[in-house]
Amino acid sequence: MAQWLNATVSETIHWTGNLFSIKAKTGPLPFIAGQFVRLAIDGPEGRIQRAYSLVNPPDSEYQEFLVSTVADGLLSPLLQQLTPGDTLGISQPATGFFILDEVPDGDNLWLIATGTGIGPYLSMLATAEPYQRFAHIILVHSVSNAADLTYKDLIASFVAKYPEQLHYQPIVTRETYPGALQDRIPKLINSQQLQQQCGQLLNPKSQVMLCGNPQMITDTKALLEGMGLTKNLRRNPGNITVEQYWK
Ligand code: NAP
């Protein structure tokens, strides 16, 4: 049975009309970067809860979540209305296997996300582990519109700290944006455009994490398998580790 912490919302960031972050004060919580908790709000019909990845690194005083409002969703429209001082339920302990401990070593590490799928990577990139284990790390973030490119300043601070190791590649599919590519991930990989833009190979010596839109994961995984990469399973280690945000 999960235990629940009552956390106080300390800050909200509204990136767009349906994309926002919530920061809540809890004191340091034990978890591994990439894991998720459940967030909950008590409504007249009972407790509404849903899983969200932690964006912050372990041992932070504040826990942070990146949320996209699902139009007919039960919890996200309520989360969007939270303001500092409101109470939010956070389940303990955090769980999940979308963590670097599960990823074998490789020549490079591709962290590929759509939308809010960037959250777990931000937690990982704030820890020392990726930089200790991988010579090159490529963070790829695909969004429809440039306004959905969340956490650009935080990412820039990571790149400034590890300029030789970390490459950030935004993709904005529905408008042109300086420095961004403009096609969907599988097409950019298949044409080698993504690899050329990032100056990195994507081959069976790579490790790839995929997070976000389920169809992006299915399509990208199939393409990578055609390139000789294999799904990473505990009983049979491979190259592709996935986290689906919704079915
Ligand atoms: P999205 O539709 O997944 O779009 C983000 C990026 O992924 C865009 O660049 C998009 O390209 C690209 N993409 C979409 N399908 C793809 C595919 N098959 N292969 C490669 N790339 C693909 O994500 P979003 O804008 O963050 O969210 C869209 C909707 O999903 C929202 O309305 C939200 O309600 C819902 N959502 C639900 C949950 C949940 O947990 N239930 C979580 C997050 C989001 P295009 O611009 O070309 O489409």
Residue located nearest, by CA, to atom 37 of ligand 1: 70
CB burial of 135-147 (b: ≥16 within 10 Å; e: otherwise) equals ebbbbbbbbeeee
Q: How far is the CA of 208 from the centre of ligand 1 (A)?
A: 19
Q: Label residue 247 by pLDDT band (50, 70, 90).
A: low
Looking at this protein, which amino acid is placed at residue 63?
A: Q
Q: Is the beta carbon of 216 within 6 A of some atom in ligand 1? A: yes
Which residues have CB under 8 Å from 100's CB, separation 6+?
33, 34, 124, 129, 130, 133
* Mean pLDDT computed over 219-241: 97
Per-residue model confidence as pLDDT tens digits over 32-47: 999 999 999 998 889 9
Q: Is the beta carbon of 97 within 6 A of some atom in ligand 1? A: no
Whole-angstrom distance, CA of residue 24 vs CA of residue 232: 33
Q: Is the beta carbon of 185 within 6 A of some atom in ligand 1? A: yes
Residue located nearest, by CA, to atom 7 of ligand 1: 114
The closest-lying atom of ligand 1 relative to the alpha carbon of residue 19 is 26
pTM, two decimals, is: 0.96
Per-residue model confidence as pLDDT tens digits over 73-96: 999 999 999 999 999 999 999 999
Q: How far is CA 180 from CA 56, 164, 183, 207, in A?
A: 25, 20, 10, 22
What does the H/E/C string look like for 75-118? CHHHHHCCCCCCEEEEEECCECCCCHHHCCCCCEEEEEEEHHHH
Q: Which two tokens stand for residue 102?
A: 């599960």
Per-residue model confidence as pLDDT tens digits over 6-32: 999 999 999 999 999 999 999 999 999
